[in-house]
Amino acid sequence: MESIVSAPRVELLGCAIDAVTLDEAVAAIDRRIQLRQPCQHMSINAAKLVRLQHDQELRDAVETCELVTADGQAVVWAARVLGRPLPERVAGIDLMNALVRRAGEQGYRIYVLGARAELLQRALDTLRGRHPGLQLSGRHGYFAPSEEPEVVEGIAGAKPDVLFVALETPFKELFLARNRDRLQIPFVMGVGGAVDILGGVRRRAPGWMQRLGLEWAYRLAQDPRRLARRYIVGNTWFTWLVARELVRQRVLPSSAARGRDAA
């Protein structure tokens, strides 16, 4: 899918990522909303890059997105090590917060899908407290597959300009891949655990931990049972994939040069 930004896309472990800053991403999304041209954003972190190596359905969903950004600091570092630098991390929650501010300024309507009903309500109340007058609605994320058409109809009926989907990976990505054409919303994105933070059940890592790429450790400490495999096993695989790619980059050019010399 063609990107909505002018910056080139960087290929990292088989995934094309837009080399943009947070401000550039917000500006591009704002243009699409004003033009009423539907687009989807995808955040890419280390865990998702690992999953993309074997999950073709998720890979197909990523490739339909008009904006793909590096959510994790590890992704930014890996791109730099491999000689394909990205300007900065564009975390999903930072992009969400920036778009909520823009929505308040422009009068855009927002819809949030996901989480438990009481947690979602607390998150919506937090956003309304920060941005009085914000046009905001939502629905909890607990529904059976048979109820999905009804959920989609309800979202479309609210006529939002922005849809945030707070479901687990890969459910949020696949939900949007199946339904974005029916929804016809100018901007849609998955927001993962952002509702947990806004609802007060999780805390975000301090800024210094984010800058050092340790936000995953902070999350793990808050929910070790659920996240241990994702971060410990996933980060190990990610490191191995980056190392393999780095070796491949160095070995293949040398092998090609030796072949030319022999010829």
Quote the CA–CA distance of 147 and 124 in Å, as a whole number. Answer: 23
Report pLDDT digits (tens) over 171-181: 999 999 999 99
Check residue 238 and give its pLDDT: 96
* Mean pLDDT computed over 30-49: 95
CB contact at 8 A, 90 and 207 = no
Quote the CA–CA distance of 109 and 136 in Å, as a whole number. Answer: 6
Report pLDDT digits (tens) over 131-156: 999 999 999 999 999 999 999 999 99
Sign of CA dihedral 82, 95, 209, 46: negative
| CB neighbourhood size of 142 (10 A) | 11
Element (H, E) at 237: helix 234-262
- 28: burial class by Cβ within 10 Å (0-12, 13-18, 19+)? buried
CA distance between the termini of the chain: 41
Report pLDDT digits (tens) over 84-113: 999 999 999 999 999 999 999 999 999 999
